[in-house]
Structure 1
Amino acid sequence: MESDDLFAAREAAWARMSPRPPEDDVPAWIRYPARAIALVFVVPVRFVWELVTRTARLIGAALGWIGVYLLWLPARWVWLHLIWWPLRWVALHLIWFPLRWVWLHLVWWPLRWVWLNALWPPLRWTGINLIGVPLTWLVVHLVIVPVGWVAVTLVYEPLRWLARAVRPAAVAVLRGIEWTFDALRWLVERAVVRPAGWVLRVLADALDWAWRHSVVPVARGIAWLWRHTVVPVARGVAWIWSHTVTPVWRFVRDDVWRPVADATRDMLRALRGR
């Protein structure tokens, strides 16, 4: 079915791409003989072709079904149940498991016991007493002790002596910095913070008095004027607009403008059609 749909789509696309003159432009003495020739030769050939292709497709589908369900599936079942699974069972139970048992019990465990009980303890004792202990002694007496002596003699003692020598001067410098910081803090507090606080407090009191006695009354007066002058005037203008201008505009729009526009549109349409 998919091949039929593909063939039909290809034929339709080829028909759209190929330019054909309309039948009205082809003379009758050419068109009718061409149709007769097509009916006599092309249609039987096309019918035979369709019959052969559909028969071949049906035979192919039948052979495919026979190959799958009568050959492949039975052969697969025979292979799995009569050859593969028996061979696998034989390989596992008669070859692999015995070889594994022989390897574990006759090779691996005896070799492991010999290694743990006969080879590893002497090798361990030899490594500890003949290699580890002498190597540790050499590292301690030839590396750690000289390095420690050099660090104590050439680094720690000079730094300790320098710290003792510099400590009084460092203490004096730190105390001087502390006294300077205290003096600067006292000076800033007395000369800047307190006068600034006093000035800010005076300014805040003045601004508060000015706000309460000047800005608030003016704002209340403006609000009273707005409420008693602007709002009534706006309401009057809105009332006049809604009762005079709006009815006039609706009358002009509905009773004058729309009829004139409709008449003009009908006249232009009549002139255009004419």
Structure 2
Amino acid sequence: MDLEKPAAEARQPERQPEGCLVVAIRLPVRIVVLVLVVPVRMVWDGLVAGGRLLTDAVLRPLGRALAWVAPAVLVWPFVGLWRYVVVPLGKALGWLAKVLVVVPLVWLFRHVLTPLGQGIVWVFRAIGAGLGWLYARMLTPAGHGVLWVFRGIGAGLGWLYARVLTPLGQGIVWAFRAIGAGLGWLYARGLTPAGHGVLWVLRGLGAAIVAVGVGVYGVAVWLLRYLVVVPAQWLYEWVLTPVGKAIASCALGVVWLVSMGINGIGFVLYWVLRLLLVLPVLALWRWVLVPVGRVLAVIGREVGTALGHAWRIAGYISLVVGRFLGTLLRWTFVEPVRWAYQAVLTPVGHFVRDAVLRPAAEAARSVGRVTRQTLAAARDSARQARADFRRMLFGESHDERPQAVPAPRREPDSADGRTLGSSTTALTKD
């Protein structure tokens, strides 16, 4: 019993009825396509398998090697250059800059510029003190004296203004007032009647000039009207207007003729193009291209479906052939090689290792051990000879005392080895 609710089956679209042409084309097309596609699919599967083998056996190890070689060739040299060339060179340049630039500048600032600045400040302070003393002891009394002198001059000028210039100015004002009164009497009694007479004469002349101007303006307006305006109006009404109407009528006639010609030419071209181009193309599309397109669509759809089925069937065939070839390669090459490695090469290798390589290694280690012991004995003999020669020449030194030679560590002489049952530690002693 199934506890889960079965999923609703997808509703298959209803297949449309197919004609006899589709059924007649489908089977041959699928057979031909299958025959053509199987080699292509087998070649494709072979290329895929070869590509995977190439990726696993060549490209991936090559990529790992390049991943190791690229840093070794591109990164490590620059790192070494930075670490062992640029950084030490930068430190050396920094040390040189410090020794050749910073230290001299600090010394110059500390032992030259600072005392020089302090001396300049002291000089300016002395100059300021001298100028302050000069201002307080000399310029201030001199200024006070000059101010007293100017005050005296101001007092003298005030007395001169009050006692001399003011009466003189008042006399001059009285004289100008008297002159103004005389000039006012002369204007009122003499100049005003003369001005009235001159104004009357000028008014008469202005009226005469205005009358003459009005007459000249009227004559000019009459001449302009009857010599220019009236002839121009007559020319516009009786000459230009009829000529313009005639030209407009001619232009309208020409436009009507041109439009009629263009309409006729367009009508003729329309029917010519319709009869010679549109109707044949329409008939070709409706009675030739559409049926041929439908047939080609059916053929293309069937060929595409056949290609899909053939590609999938060719995949199964290629899988079977590949498995057969893999099994054949395994039983004809891999299994014999594995059997030869396990049954022949491994025992031979073990025999060579046990019978040849290990005895040779033991002999080599024995020779090396004897050689080291011989060299150690020779070094001890040479050291003893040098000590005897020094003792013979200089005598025995008081500091030289015979030192006890520690006994070499050896295994216990008893045949019984140490076991956990023996009392060898403080925790296990009775």
Please classify the TM superposition score into its range, dividing by the shorter chain length.
0.3 to 0.5
Is the radius of gyration larger for structure 1 or structure 2? Answer: 2
Give the helix-richer structure, 1 or 2.
1
Q: Give the TM-score, by structure 2 length.
A: 0.27
